[in-house]
Amino acid sequence: MSGLGGLNKSQNGVVIGLVQLQLPVTETKADLTQQTEKVCEMVRKAKRFAAPIDLVVFPEYMLHGLSMSMDKEIMCDVDGPEVEAFKDVCRENDIWGCFSIMEYNPDGNPYNTGLIIDNKGEIKLNYRKLHPWVPVEPWEPGDVGLPVCEGPNGSKLGLAICHDGMFPEVSRELAYKGADIILRTAGYTAPIRHSWRITNQSNAFCNLAYTASVAMCGTDGTNDSMGEGMIVNFDGVPMVEGSNRPDEIITGEVRPDLVREARTDWAVENNMYQLGHRGYVAVEGGITDAPYTYMQDLQNGEYRLPWEDDVVHKDGGAYGFNKPRKK
């Protein structure tokens, strides 16, 4: 149930708009400024299109396109003019927004940064992509963990950026911190279509959370992004699905109160709880250990695959990038 695409908002609902933004070509500061205004106009369009809308979500690479350019001229700062424009448009339209920038980093490669701004124009979540899509992306790996924030109408929001969503651990961490809506922003192209769909669904079901995901859309003359915004219910069933039309806004309503109810009242498949309470039928309270070798090895800095020495791609050379700047 999505309230006819969010047109009918319930008392406890959160209406989300997913913007399948046309894939831009951004090469100069003037291009960046023009694309910033395009994004702001799409915020205004979303508010006109669905008056009850609470949160509008833009794809990864919404300003910069898919060139992977690290030109300082088109990098952004969190306190720069582009982000100020997003704050202003959220405030003016009484709407929350999720935005993407490539953030200048004086100490290394830029960060791939996601921001959630509330309807008062305040940044509520500032996240740097934890898992850049190697070997394709040159961005510095995130260094701020996986934050969550309070969202509209009593919701709690988490953000996974593109490739982050392919790691079950990322969505599990966001849900563990209380997120009942997990946003996923992406620049993916068509070859990832199947993986996109099944991970958006599994991330929802495995964590009893809504997932709301959107990719860039259309072509820049080289890359063809797929759009395909989708909202998935916490039981893993898609509620709303988009097409491949650039600049289409996919809308739907989610109910965080029903997520909270499921997390407390479900017995069968309440996996978030059961992960840390193994076998509570046989053992009082269940076993609360960490039986997984990979978790222990990661914690100890000893993560090593049985086929580690045979892995072919260990830097960005296959995609034309130089050796890493850092050890």
- List the beta strands (DSSP E) in 162-261: 181-186, 210-215, 217-219, 224-226, 230-232, 238-241, 248-254
Percent of the chain with pLDDT over 70: 99
Any catalytic annotation for residue 284?
no
pLDDT of amino acid 50: 84
Average pLDDT over residues 265-269: 97
Which domain CATH number covers 44? 3.60.110.10
Of 58, 18, 47, nearest in space to 238 by CA: 18
Query: Is residue 107 one of the residues assigned to a domain?
Result: yes
Q: Is 323 a catalytic residue?
A: no
Please count the structural domains in the chain. 1
Residues with Cβ < 8 Å from 19, sequence gap 6 or more? 42, 46, 56, 57, 58, 59, 62, 214, 229, 247, 249
pLDDT at 8 over 90: no
Q: Which of 60, 103, 137, 253 is catalytic?
A: 60
**Residue in 157, 104, 112, 106 with CA at minimum distance from that of residue 134:** 112
Residue 323 lies inside a defined structural domain of this protein: no
Q: How close are the terminal C-alpha atoms of the chain, in Å? A: 50
Do the domain assignments include residue 97? yes
Q: What distance in Å separates the CA atoms of residue 78 and residue 122, rounded to the nearest whole number?
A: 12
By residue range, what is the domain housing residue 159? 3-267
Q: What is the spatial distance between Cα 42 and Cα 178, in angstroms, rounded to a whole number? A: 30
Looking at the domain assignment, is residue 274 inside a domain?
Answer: no
pLDDT at 119: 98
Q: Is 90 an annotated catalytic residue?
A: no
CA distance 260 to 153: 13
* Arithmetic mean of pLDDT, 239-257: 95
How much is the pLDDT for 1? Answer: 57
The answer to the question of residue 327 being in a domain is: no
Question: pTM higher than 0.85, yes or no?
Answer: yes
Q: Which residues does 293 contact at the CB level (< 8 Å), separation at least 6?
A: none
Residue 190 inside a domain? The answer is: yes
Please write the tens of the pLDDT for every residue from 76-118: 999 999 999 999 999 999 999 999 999 999 999 999 999 999 9
**Residue among 47, 87, 129, 156 flagged as catalytic:** 129
In a domain, 106, yes or no: yes
Is a pLDDT exceeding 80 seen at residue 26? yes
pLDDT score, position 97: 98
pLDDT tens figures, 127-165:
999 999 999 999 999 999 999 999 999 999 999 999 999
The rounded radius of gyration (Å) of the Cα atoms in the chain is 20
Note whether residue 198 is domain-resident. yes
